[in-house]
């Protein structure tokens, strides 16, 4: 158990819909990262928050947004869903920024299926 929790574990929805994925980082971790993993594209970095502020953006679509709340939990919002958005979405946390020795700890993921 990494200490990172994600809900829900599974999500099935239809095209055009909007969903919210939730993540609680490990106790004491200030950074939260979101990743998308699909079979053909590996682990793709989406976005990072540090202590409530956005710090880095990766390959995140405009239809997707995220935020980190004062209690440090984070939510990833996916809207106007398309079939291609079906994937595993992982949240990870770390103590600080991507500095020496500060590795990430991953949650169990949310499996999203868009029909």
Partner 1 sequence: TQLLEQSPQFLSIQEGENLTVYCNSSSVFSSLQWYRQEPGEGPVLLVTVVTGGEVKKLKRLTFQFGDARKDSSLHITAAQPGDTGLYLCAGGSGTYKYIFGTGTRLKVLA
Nearest distance from residue 59's CB to partner 1, in Å?
Answer: 11
Closest distance of CB 29 from partner 1, Å:
13
Between 16 and 58, name the residue whose CB sits nearer to partner 1: 58
Could you list the residues that contact partner 1 (CB under 8 A)? 2, 4, 33, 35, 42-43, 45, 48, 50, 55-56, 58, 88, 90, 92, 97-109, 111
Beta strand ranges found along 1-115 (DSSP E): 5-7, 10-13, 19-24, 31-38, 42-50, 53-57, 64-68, 74-78, 87-94, 105-106, 110-114
């Amino acid at each position: 158990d990494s200490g990172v929790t994600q809900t829900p574990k599974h999500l099935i929805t239809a095209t055009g819909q909007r969903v919210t994925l939730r993540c609680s980082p490990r106790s004491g971790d200030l950074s939260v990262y979101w990743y998308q993993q699909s079979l053909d594209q590996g682990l793709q970095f989406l976005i990072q928050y540090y202590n409530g502020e956005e710090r880095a953006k990766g390959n995140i679509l405009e239809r997707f947004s995220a935020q980190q709340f004062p209690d440090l939990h984070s939510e990833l919002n996916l809207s106007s869903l398309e079939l291609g958005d079906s994937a595993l979405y992982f949240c990870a946390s770390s103590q600080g920024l991507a500095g020496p020795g500060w590795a990430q700890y991953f949650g169990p993921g949310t499996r999203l299926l868009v029909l």
